[in-house]
Amino acid sequence: MVKENSLSPIFVDIVEERQIKLLTGKNVNVNFAKKIQNLKIKLGGNFTDVQLYSIEKFYKEDENGELYVKLSKRDIFLTQFYIIFILCAFCIEVILLFSLADQVKSIQNLILYISTIILSVIICFILISLKSNDLTAIYVKQKHEELSI
């Protein structure tokens, strides 16, 4: 077995990158993984590695080399508007479906009615889950700003 000290620094980096890939499921370099861990510590450990790696497209580096989440006010507004719109549309759909509940007179209509409700819930969850990374980025940014003040 080869001792760790006898390996060249290039191989040590490769081994560390493979270990990071095994632990996180992301193929990132060692420096980025260390910056993510520093951000995780800075945020107080309230976020998991999976959450922090899922929003890597929103990361920028400051002049000190530390990561922060870069989101414009427009992006935050559009994401929040999207979520509110989906929830309002879902509520309106549920109200309309419940107003039609007294017209269900046969078993086929009842099955259609129940399947429509289930399908609308599934679609709502799918549409909200499409923005889950954006919501995580917003929350990380807010938490980072709270701790920076």
Crossing angle, helix 132-148 and helix 30-42, to 10 degrees? 60
What span, in angstroms and rounded, lies between the C-alpha atoms of 80 and 27?
30
Crossing angle, helix 107-129 and helix 73-99, to 10 degrees? 170
Provide the token pair at 41. 């510590």
Which of 52, 75, 80 has the alpha carbon at shortest distance from 143? 52
Query: What separation, in Å, do the N-terminal and C-terminal C-alpha atoms of the chain show?
Result: 50
Q: pLDDT tens per residue, the chain (149 residues)?
A: 345 566 676 667 667 777 766 666 666 677 777 888 888 888 887 888 888 888 888 998 888 888 889 999 999 999 999 999 999 999 998 888 888 777 778 888 888 888 888 998 999 999 999 999 999 999 999 888 888 76
